[in-house]
Amino acid sequence: MNDNDTFHRMDGTDPRPGRGLIVTIDVEDHTLPPSMPRLDGAIAPILDLLCRREIHATFFVVGELVESSRELLHRLMEDGHELGLHGFTHRYLRDLGPVGFADELRYGVDAFHDHLGITPTGFRAPYCSITRDTPWAPDLLTEAGFHYSSSVLPASNPIAGYPGAPRRPFRWPSGLIEIPVPVFGRGRLSVPALGGAYLRLAPRVIIRWARRGRSAEAGDWTYAHPYDFDLSEPFFRRPGQAWLEARLLFARRRLMLARFDNLMNAGSPTLGDFAAGLQKSVDLPTFQPTALPA
């Protein structure tokens, strides 16, 4: 790939060795109904890149896709990647409520056990939707056996944000470890520029600034979805979806693989490995949500 808007050519090198981020992929399918052939094709470029760079990533998988994609997921495990749960359905936690969320956790854990033979220890909420509106979520995750979460966007955000939450890894009172979304900027101008659509759409200079001081060793991570790399998908709008939202979902996908490549570095841990290293830390702060200002 040759693109003037990327940091360097995709030649397998990193101009800033040791400064790569933890790599995570949210395995979800935005087509209706889900299309496994397209999902397999969309995810192929990032799997090839991870193999060439000898990087193990964390794949957060929507539970309702586990059965139909079990061959792909077994292949990911064989290649040394970590699998975590991304909800059973891709819905906001506030819309599920505590009872619905507990049910979805049970369904998701059962799907992993029945079709993959494993129990997930990591969780990422759809839309990173652990917020002030879902104070029950960390306790339910702990009760379901999860060791860590990466479900908090510690800033104001029109999709789902938690302004005032810590920007560095912390514990919930239940003991669950939280590894929040890396954000760039201050106040209402804070954005998660190092992943997803933000990584595709942001000007190059913003990504450079956002990357400064970030590293896997500090628990900083990037994320993408299979469709972010899918250059062949024809444009469409989901029912009820705004035209602009649909266009942004498809915009600048040609930049994504090279930009993702720039954020990687061989030897970065999976998110689960990083969380395991925090388990015995006595310095990890505990966040009390009730201490937030109204």
Sequence-separated (6 or more) residues with CB below 8 Å from residue 52: 12
User: Which residue positions in the chain have pLDDT lower than 70?
Assistant: 1-19, 30-37, 290-294
Does a structural domain hold residue 9? no
Calculate Rg over the CA atoms of the chain.
Answer: 18
* pLDDT given at position 105: 98
Q: Is residue 288 part of a domain?
A: no
Residue among 206, 208, 257, 205 nearest 228 (CA): 257
DSSP tag of 270: P
Residue 133 belongs to domain spanning? 22-277
DSSP sequence for 12-63: S--SSTT-PPEEEEEE---SSS--HHHHHHHHHHHHHHHHHHT---EEEE-G
d(CA 38, CA 65): 13
Q: What confidence tens digit (pLDDT) does each residue in 62-102 have?
A: 999 999 999 999 999 999 999 999 999 999 999 999 999 99
> Are the CB atoms for 170 and 181 separated by under 8 Å?
no
How many domains would you assign to the chain?
1
Identify which of 155, 163, 252, 182 has the alpha carbon closest to the alpha carbon of residue 24: 182
Per-residue pLDDT, 37: 62
Q: Give the C-alpha separation, 25 to 185, whole Å.
A: 23
What's the pLDDT at 44? 93
Residue 12: inside a domain:
no
Residue 160 forms part of a structural domain: yes
| pTM for the model | 0.90
CATH of the domain at 246: 3.20.20.370
What is the structure's pLDDT at 245? 86
Residue-level pLDDT at 222: 96
Q: Which tokens hold the place of 190?
A: 């804070």
7 lies in a domain? no
Please check whether residue 10 lies inside any domain of the structure: no
In a domain, 231, yes or no: yes
Residue 190 half-sphere exposure toward CB, CA atoms < 13 A = 18
CA angle centred on 82, ends 281 and 65, rounded to 5°: 130
Measured from the Cβ of residue 204, the count of other Cβ atoms closer than 10 Å reads 14
